Structure 1
Amino acid sequence: MAIVQDFNWNKLQNGSDIRGIALEGIPDEHVNLTPAVAKILGQAFVTWLCGKVNKPSTQLIVAVGRDSRLSGPAIMQATLDGITDLGSEAYDFEMASTPAMFMSTITSGFECDGAIMLTASHLPFNRNGLKFFTAQGGLEKKDISDILQLAASNNFEIAAAKGAISQRDFMSVYANQFVEQIRQAVNHPTNFDQPLSGLKIIVDAGNGAGGFYADRVLQPLGADTTGSQFLEPDGNFPNHVPNPEDPTAMAAICQAVIEHQADFGIIFDTDVDRSAAVDSMGKELNRNRLIGLISAIVLQEHPGSTIVTDSITSDGLTQFIQQDLGGIHHRFKRGYKNVINESIRLNQDGKESWVAIETSGHAAMKENHFLDDGAYLVSKLLVELAKCNLAGKSLTDLIANLQEPVESKELRIKITTADFQAYGNEVIDRMQTFVASQSDWKIVPNNYEGVRVACTSESEDGWFLLRLSLHDPVIPVNIESNIAGGVDRIKQRLLAFLKTQESLDLAAFGA
């Protein structure tokens, strides 16, 4: 299929990734990520990569992997064809995880010059996308813009001899890294090789790419994985959305843990860069609890260091990190790249930070190249689970002092004017003026996006955050309260203000 002359390449950019519609099937969503487009993107990445690593295309090795999406095989073959058309060698990893693709650039025996993961994370079945890596990490927003500019020019030097495509089993190598990591870290006094022996651990892969963790990581470590579910890749995602933030998905893994009387449950998103967990009582370990848990582990290892999170974490989490754990909580912006880059910046400025984590389940650790890897995160939790089991303790004892809100809610206000970013910022500015007139509302210091407000009255006892969405014409509003009915009282006061603003669709507020 030929690319039309006026094809909008920039529309494929989604921050530091490429995302598009790869299949028909949803009304008013038209395909713009075809195999022909993917082939050109493969050529564009190779051309961009030549400049970065200072090698000709004929000396490059590029790995390609995919998740379980229905469009994956066709998009993958086209991407491989684009890479090899320029004379580069291509490794076909078949089903893989996003973090594994980065690891292929720094793992002995592979050491690829670049890697591409074909995924659209938890988005619907008709979507797909490309994530790019070098040995320096995932690409930034400007890198994607540069690659798309090369694609738009479509002026590539086709090699005299096509590069080779070889199938390589990297996922077994990657999985074994976790096996060895957990063995070494637990250092079981009587069962070094199988430190998870005696523990029943259930994996829910949501029919994405994460099923490998059950049979290639947990089972070699001695865990009983009976009850693990949806491990088979299926791009129809027939059981639930593969997303640790999705209530139905979390309910599925919680129910499995209870039904099989498991010690621990793990759930991954489609491409395994995000995860969440469930304790032996079937209680979710995600969002603030997940952040609290990894913070407790990290601050044991690196006392007094800084935990970087996104902007919508609870006040109770800040108190827990700073007062109970003796760390520093740096509440930054939404967007996993923002959180990761902020943690990297702090380290460069001499402020020790070992973890950057979003409430979405994206978590990146300094010890793991600041790679957001859901499998690495749960491996850290499993080490602690095994140690607690040896000591006759519970993993969740680590977060026993974490105070959680009684109520919380997220509402999304649609902006109905064309220049939504400028208008959204105006609304946020007006909100700050309004808050200044309220005796019991105080702007929280150190806001990095939007405006966070402490609601100090006894009838509200909570906070809200008004911010502008990263990509959409939406103002998300997060509200939390420590008392029953508090969220609704805050919401009603907010609504009175928002009704005075034009160009807002307040349907989410019931207005």
Structure 2
Amino acid sequence: MAAIAFKKLQNGSDIRGVALEGIEGQPVNLTEEAVTTIAKAFGAWLSKKTGKDAGQLKVAIGRDSRISGPALLAAAAKGLCTAGVSVTDCGLASTPAMFMTLVTDGFSFDGSIMITASHLPFNRNGMKFFVASGGLEKSDIAEILALAEAGDFLTPQTPGKMDACDFISVYAKGLVEKIRAASGSEKPLEGFHIVVDAGNGGGGFFVDKVLAPLGADASGSQFLEPDGSFPNHIPNPEDKTAMESIRGAVLANHADLGIIFDTDVDRAGAVDKNGREINRNRIIALISAILLHEHPGTAIVTDSITSSGLKTFIEEKGGIHHRFKRGYKNVINEAIRLNREGTDCQVAIETSGHGALKENYFLDDGAYLIAKILVQMARLKKEGKTIDELIADLQEPLEAKEYRMKILAEDFKEYGNRLIEALKEYAAKQPGWQVEPNNYEGIRVKFAQGDGDGWFLLRLSLHDPIIPLNIESNAQGGVKHIAGKLYPFVAQYEEIDSACLQEEVQG
């Protein structure tokens, strides 16, 4: 059997790999053997971090609806038990729920694992790890994989014990209690018609375990049954097909709100009663409006591709917009840093739908994000208002587009960073190019009204050999105008596949 390339399974602060055959050119590398060994390594790492012997450790494991989930959960449990660690099988769960196993009264776990690959295709899977202080960092994952590669594990004579727990019900009950407490009502959603689209991921529990106890009519909800082949659409609030699916359900059922989750429920999006999507900049604006009412002047940390209109929206409501790097761990860690240094920051949120609130352990939790919106809906109803009114004055761009240009160079990070540094020098010399001074990722350049009336952001992808380019404009034809300004520079770089940008400019 070929040696396992453990280090290649790292994807930032997660483990990701191909778990099933079925797609040509994608051989399985996240095998049951690999997961067993990584779980053993996590046990060893956890023992070192806590100072406890393996026999004293307890770890909870959950999974999303992926086809490979049960087998990989069993493989992880086997690895931990072999190492002497006791395991609780939480079965079908959400990523946020698996963190909550560590901080919920009545439970005493030392760590937890979620078997998930978020919105990736059916053949992929992965592992996320938690301790009570939060999700593991990139450096922690590297350390665990180094232990797995070394394979130097002690095997105690007494294996760890195994039991099971329906923790998603415990987690859902906690959400219900929070919503009731915040709204001051046993059934605050009575009279509301709310539909959920779980995309056959792990979010189907929200209907029976959260909405029903709160009094909502959830008829018309769809794709609630777990099915890791994702037969209807990818569970992803950023996916056009997925958003059109929940939009259609809202309009067909004349619902007050539509909710959509990603596969492991750490991200969410919504649709208002008029069929307007509440995702990307709009969901950031909505949670910002709610939190700025509760915490005037708070800072809102977002990823780098948020719109100029969102910045204006936050600032006009008295908040501070702190635009940072992409990556949910990046925005979360930046929000934690701001609080530590004395700046109140209540939320870290990406346009992808990853939203982490200070009041909820800075855990990116799609269900909790929706819970905040539901509480606000109940409050607004008493005033004769609806949730969409909170973001009615958000200025949205007339045009917005993303181009994902492949980097063909072998050392793609070095090549991409060299291009970006050269562009910074180039941009500084171009008339009418206004380089954003407080930018933490790539280069962001603004253009005045009459000269594109918008901006571009060129950055290096977090993990892939790609340079994404985002362009936004408030003028008809503005995206093409701005693309035309940038294309001659990018075209000089032979190791960049800029055909998509060329097509925009010349089309």
Q: Deviations along 1:362-402, whole A, 9 cap, x unmatched?
A: 01011100000000000000000111112110111111211
| Corresponding residue of 1:311 | 304
Measured after TM superposition, the shift of residue 417 of structure 1 is 1.1
Between 94-103 and 146-155, report the one with greater CA deviation: 146-155
| 2:464 is the alignment partner of 1:472 | yes
- The code of the aligned residue for 1:185 comes to A
- The code of the aligned residue for 1:263 comes to D
Q: Deviations along 1:107-128, whole A, 9 cap, x unmatched?
A: 1111211100000000011111
| Corresponding residue of 2:342 | 350
| 2:77 is the alignment partner of 1:84 | no
- The code of the aligned residue for 1:438 comes to Q
Q: Matches of 2:421 and 2:85 in 1, distance apart?
A: 52
Q: Matches of 1:350 and 1:509 in 2, distance apart?
A: 43
| 2:332 is the alignment partner of 1:335 | no
| Corresponding residue of 1:248 | 241
| 2:432 is the alignment partner of 1:440 | yes
Between 152-161 and 459-468, report the one with greater CA deviation: 152-161
1:222-261 equivalent positions in 2, closer than 5 A: 222-261=215-254
| Corresponding residue of 2:285 | 292
Q: Matches of 2:106 and 2:273 in 1, distance apart?
A: 39
Q: Deviations along 1:121-160, whole A, 9 cap, x unmatched?
A: 0001111100000111100001101110111111211121
Q: Matches of 1:338 and 1:413 in 2, distance apart?
A: 23
SS at match of 1:50: helix
Structure 1 residue ranges (4+ consecutive) displaced by more than 3 angstroms after TM superposition: none
TM-score, normalised via structure 1 length: 0.97
| Corresponding residue of 1:371 | 363
Measured after TM superposition, the shift of residue 214 of structure 1 is 0.7
Q: RMSD of the TM alignment (CA)?
A: 1.0
| Corresponding residue of 1:361 | 353
Candidates 20, 38, 57, aligned match of 1:41 = 38
- The code of the aligned residue for 1:105 comes to L
CA contact (8 A) 2:4 2:34 kept: no
Measured after TM superposition, the shift of residue 489 of structure 1 is 1.0
Measured after TM superposition, the shift of residue 78 of structure 1 is 1.0
| Corresponding residue of 2:269 | 276
Measured after TM superposition, the shift of residue 11 of structure 1 is 0.3
| Corresponding residue of 2:95 | 98
| 2:389 is the alignment partner of 1:397 | yes
Measured after TM superposition, the shift of residue 457 of structure 1 is 4.1
- The code of the aligned residue for 2:495 comes to S
Q: Deviations along 1:81-116, whole A, 9 cap, x unmatched?
A: 111112221100000000000100111111211100
| Corresponding residue of 1:56 | 53
| 2:194 is the alignment partner of 1:197 | no
- The code of the aligned residue for 1:116 comes to I
| Corresponding residue of 1:171 | 168
SS at match of 1:361: coil
| Corresponding residue of 2:134 | 137
Q: Which consecutive unaligned segments of at least 5 residues does structure 1 have?
A: none
- The code of the aligned residue for 2:461 comes to S
Q: Matches of 1:99 and 1:80 in 2, distance apart?
A: 19
Q: Which consecutive unaligned segments of at least 5 residues does structure 2 have?
A: none
CA contact (8 A) 2:114 2:128 kept: yes
Q: Deviations along 1:288-307, whole A, 9 cap, x unmatched?
A: 11000000111111111100
Q: Matches of 1:391 and 1:166 in 2, distance apart?
A: 48
Q: Matches of 1:496 and 1:326 in 2, distance apart?
A: 40
Measured after TM superposition, the shift of residue 250 of structure 1 is 0.3
Measured after TM superposition, the shift of residue 426 of structure 1 is 1.8
SS at match of 1:106: coil
SS at match of 2:468: strand
CA contact (8 A) 1:440 1:457 kept: no
Q: Matches of 1:314 and 1:488 in 2, distance apart?
A: 17
Q: Matches of 2:260 and 2:456 in 1, distance apart?
A: 29
Q: Matches of 1:384 and 1:178 in 2, distance apart?
A: 14
Measured after TM superposition, the shift of residue 501 of structure 1 is 2.4
Q: Matches of 2:355 and 2:39 in 1, distance apart?
A: 28
Q: Matches of 1:412 and 1:485 in 2, distance apart?
A: 20
Q: Matches of 2:448 and 2:431 in 1, distance apart?
A: 9
Q: Matches of 2:156 and 2:231 in 1, distance apart?
A: 43
| Corresponding residue of 1:485 | 477
CA contact (8 A) 2:487 2:502 kept: no
Measured after TM superposition, the shift of residue 312 of structure 1 is 0.4
| Corresponding residue of 1:121 | 118
CA contact (8 A) 1:306 1:328 kept: yes
Q: Cα gap change, 1:365/1:310 in structure 2, threshold over 3 Å: closer, same or farther?
A: same
SS at match of 1:25: coil
CA contact (8 A) 1:199 1:263 kept: yes
Q: Deviations along 1:52-72, whole A, 9 cap, x unmatched?
A: 111111111100000011111
Measured after TM superposition, the shift of residue 8 of structure 1 is 1.2
Candidates 204, 209, 213, aligned match of 2:206 = 213
Q: Matches of 2:476 and 2:237 in 1, distance apart?
A: 26
Q: Matches of 1:486 and 1:111 in 2, distance apart?
A: 56
Measured after TM superposition, the shift of residue 502 of structure 1 is 2.5
Identity of matched residues, %: 58
CA contact (8 A) 2:6 2:34 kept: no
Q: Matches of 1:413 and 1:258 in 2, distance apart?
A: 36
